[in-house]
Structure 1
Amino acid sequence: MKAQGGKAIYGAAVGILMLEARFPRIPGDMGNATSWDFPVHYKIVRGASPDKVVRRNAEGLLPDFITAAQELVADGVDGITTNCGFLSVFQHDIAKAVGVPVATSSLMQTAMVNALLPPGKKAGILTISGSSLTPAHLIAAGVPLDTPIGSTEGGREFTRAILGNEPELDVAAAEADNVDAARQLVASNPDVGALVLECTNMGPYAPAIRVATGLPVFSILNFVTWFQTGLSPRVF
């Protein structure tokens, strides 16, 4: 058997475009490498702060994300994802620029989750900033515009600490914000049969949300794990 070359890095099929942030990335957060059961390759997009990407619509950052994605592909990754669901608006442009599969946002799961559910049920979205999530973000990710949306905005800790890029995070309070927002979303929308977590920092709280609501919870972690299995199928 002969090994084939041509890449600078091997064994990491998924390349992750990271925001430039300092808030704690606990296990279960996409930016914590221990969250993955497989190797990933990170690249930070300098200047892409959480506030700028979420609240200011990533204005002026598309060229930087494209350059970083191209560098990841040149390094050897086989697919690209990002660590903010709001980057769905860059899906088409990044995919066009890199020539490999691209999965910018956890929101892209919504249509698939809807297909899994029984008649009369639909996916609901939990986001870090309901006031910033626009129809453009949803359309870019293929999300029906009548999808129920809940948010941790206005909570005690989660949105403030992440979008404020705080160096400390009260994990229990952040979990409570996520659980409370999920419960409110489900209580207000009895047709919600599953939850899609927009924010890639919500992964650690998926188990608690599942227990609190009794509904399936889909995060960036299961989405990228599915993505990985397509890029690098398991050998039997």
Structure 2
Amino acid sequence: MLVFEFQEGLSDRQAADQVRARLDWKDVLGLELTDAGFDASVLYEFRTRLIDGACKQVLLDKTLSRFRAQDLLNVRGQQRTDSTPVIGAVRNVTRLELLGELVRSAPNELAGTAPAWLAMQLSQPWVKRSAHRVEEGWLPRHEAARAHDALEVGQDGQTLLQALEMQSEPSWRELSNVKLLRLIWEQQVDLDEQRHGRLETGRPPCRRPNHSVRSSAHPCLTLPAVS
């Protein structure tokens, strides 16, 4: 599954959906055609065990041994590589999906409480970006395009949080999705000198919060792991 996610640039949620939908994936994974698949959180939990148990090299060695036994590798070819880029790439895609959905769902919740105030904060590009749930479309596969999306998400989220800090109604900051956005922001986003949000790619893994994003547009989105 990690290889599939890495090759196709998928988040955990998208990969779990593909397992349910694609016959070729089920065939490779040895699943029955009627198999209902699994929750996306399983992929996060697997990566966590892999990293915490320092098992990345063991898994790589066993994989290479199987490939050699099936003549899929040249004996004199380059067979060994670090698995860190694969795990890191999958983690970053999943994190971008999480933050993008939070930046979309927090304004949705605010729209029911402070619609007039919110309308003054949102630019037209932001409204357009927030029109659809993040998981409804594919995240960019190319790193440059993904970095551009991450920058937009960072700027949108930081703009919203700063605006909330400046207004005098504390109850708006206590809305569940707003609190969750602030929590994840503190864990996963760095600020530059102009206090623009930027996803920090070098951060160590952190445990996912035990919360759900709830809004009228997205009744219950269980957050994917932040790793």
Q: For the superposition of Structure 1 and Structure 2, which TM-score range results when normalised by the shorter chain?
A: under 0.3
TM-score (norm 1): 0.27
Q: Which has the higher helix share?
A: 2
User: Larger C-alpha radius of gyration, 1 or 2?
Assistant: 2
